Structure 1
Amino acid sequence: MAACDEWIINVSMGSFCWVAADKSRRDSARHSSFWSSSPGCGLSGPRTGPTNYLSHLFLSPPPLLRKPGSHADGAVTSQTTQGGTMASDVAARVALKEAEELALSLSDALNSGNEQEAVQLCQRLSKLSVPVCVSIDSQAYPQDSIRLRVGVEDAQSDTDIPLNVLVSPDMTIAQLKEKINLDFGFHPSLQRWVIGKRLAQDRETLHSHGVRHNGDQAFLFILSAKAAHLHLHQHKQEQDQQRLDSIMESMQLLPRGPAKGGEKTADPLQYIPPSRPKHVPPAPPAPPCPRPKPAVPAKPQMRWSCPICTFLNKPTRPGCEMCGEDRPDDYQVPDSYQPDQQEVLRIQLESLAVVQYEEAQREERERNFQSLLATEDKNLIPNATEADCPICFSRLEAEEGVVLRECLHTFCRECLRATVVNSLEAEVSCPETCDSKLLDREIKALLTDEEHQRFLELRLSIAESRSEHSFHCQTANCRGWCIYEDEVNEFHCELCQQVNCILCRAIHTGMNCKDYQDDLRIRAENDQAAQQTKQMLESLLQNKEAMKCPRCDIVIQKKDGCDWICCLMCKTEICWVTKQARWGPNGNGDTSGGCRCRVDRKPCHPNCQNCH
């Protein structure tokens, strides 16, 4: 074997192999049991298992070629083991070669439509039990590019973001995911495609989903990195692997053997081992060849990754450009970062938008304040929009109804006026089922002067009946009344100018209280009608057909209906079956007193017929 100590490195598509510099060494190496041919390159070293070719290329010197049976560094090679390994390798290569030929023949048979030959080839190919992938050639699909309309959405967004993507019908979903990853930075594991109301799978093509014309629609849902179990370390590893693949794809693979015309092929890279055996004479130097330029290292990543959709945003963005998620609190814009022109314009527009927003807020607050002042000057607030009266169900146009101040319920004027006129209470409640009351200014604006005067008189009478120390003038049709104290015994009415005796509850001018009571007793004994009335009332009370009001002590009687009755004088709510007040001293809803009906879900009496 010719003496040669120079070695050439042949690099292409991620495979690295050592090649002898001259032809004589390559010819002898083909017959050596230490070397085997590698498709697409020259001679490779002994195959001892999976090898990281990149580290072998730059960190280890090339092995020296030796004759069959020679020893390297004292190691002894077993010819028997090596022969068995070579036999199994040869058998595997023969089966793989046959499978390749059958696959090519099957492709030709399918293209030509030869059904019988395709069946036979499939049977022969299945006996080899090798992995096979069958796909339709891209030439069978329409060659025109299509603008696909994509709606992008994630779990945080309310509406989808429209997007136009240039695709081809033969593109698979996996290729489409990779395109979105390269263009927008969304990892394929975060993408879920829905086309034609169906979840698309990676091996399916766009043509199979009916994407054939410009404007066809698809939907892309972006998962969060947490939901897809995608970690930042894994994402960086995949980016490094893609960068390494792009570097290896840029390297050129040299053909094996001499070039046409008998000239040697120029090698792109030359490697000289640091030491050479003394018995090997030096070979003539190889012609110089240009070294490939080293790959430019990637710039340090200054963008911040969104914790929801993993999109890489510019440092100055306060939120994610895709999903709107806030920037992490621990992230700080690098001091050395210089924003580009687009970012500077965006920051200026954001500052201008903040100023405009604050100005709009100030103007809106001023308008609201002026509107509040104008509303306060009105006794009745008209409705600003169309509404329906809940009482008469009539349609109310704007400015036709009335909005109550306390509860903001809307009614027509006629219904509110009727509610006030027919009310028997001093405070008029909202016709809706709420606890709000009509204000005095609203009541006065709804009623006429005469109706408002009667309403005020009704309020006075109710206040008189509910007061414990009230006394009404005994003159017929006189409206005068007073609230007396314990040491006062007489009431001088300013309306009728009569003096009323509070002790006797009568007017007995010219008589003292004793003379008046004696005279009253004598007249009652001689008045047969008065005696009959008194006996009838006593009989009703004894038979429990009537009762005395627990507050004003007048005799009241139930006509019909439920057990809830109301005193006409003092307006006290009374439980008929228990003959006592319905509520406690604090009025409606006070269960500290009264009949305590339905407290702890128990009726006030076994015969209670709904005392409300």
Structure 2
Amino acid sequence: MLIVKVQLGQADIKCPITECSEHLDETTVLYNLPHDDIIKYKYFLELSRIDSSTKPCPQCKHFTTFRRRGHIPTPAKLENKYKIQCPSCQFVWCFKCHSPWHEGVNCKEYKKGDKLLRHWANEIEHGQRNAQKCPKCKIHIQRTEGCDHMTCSQCNTNFCYRCGERYRQLRFFGDHTSNLSIFGCKYRYLPERPHLRRLVRGSVCAGKLLITPLILVLGLALGAIAVVIGLFVFPIYCLCKKQRKRSRTGMPW
């Protein structure tokens, strides 16, 4: 119940006991949440404490406070005053409409155009989406040819055109093109059965995590055996080599 409330974006959580009308304190909530939900809860908690002059960065969620100036801006500078560059990730965004910065276009026009763009991008033509959004900088990219591996021309992020996720890989655990890897594309393996796909991929990953230490221990054991054998064999080899050399030269022992 607690996890569900946090995932729904609730920061002010009531006590689950029916007879109690109090709210849970922050320490109690944090103690009973897993790591991923702790991050979400802290974000929603901070979001609930701020006013309209503070907003999170659309990219990294770093909070920025918009400081209003005393003078009245000219019409030419009216829109530019909302231009914010995040001090954490350097992402440039509009404080007014909470979107990526739209130079030369007001917020209303941008929102209207962005809505039309998203609708067009999600349409399927010739067996593929019209465009895919970069997972980092959020610009739409259209593929005209080639494979699903895309590189954003603006931020150089590698992502999959088919599912929109970043390309990630880890040696021994596979990459985005692996069917059974936790980093694999969701459309490559059981796309219609996401729960089963996560179960299978998670099981494979867990199996590899269990096998890896055994392989390391086995490798260390074999290495130790090889060293021990070498300590005995090498002196014998040197002695035999020395004896063979003396026998060739006819020198007595």
TM class, shorter-chain normalised?
under 0.3
Query: Between Structure 1 and Structure 2, whose CA radius of gyration is higher?
Result: 1
- Greater RCO between the two (CA within 8 Å, min separation 6)? 1
Relative to its length, the structure with more helix (as a share) is 2
Q: TM-score, normalised by structure 2?
A: 0.28
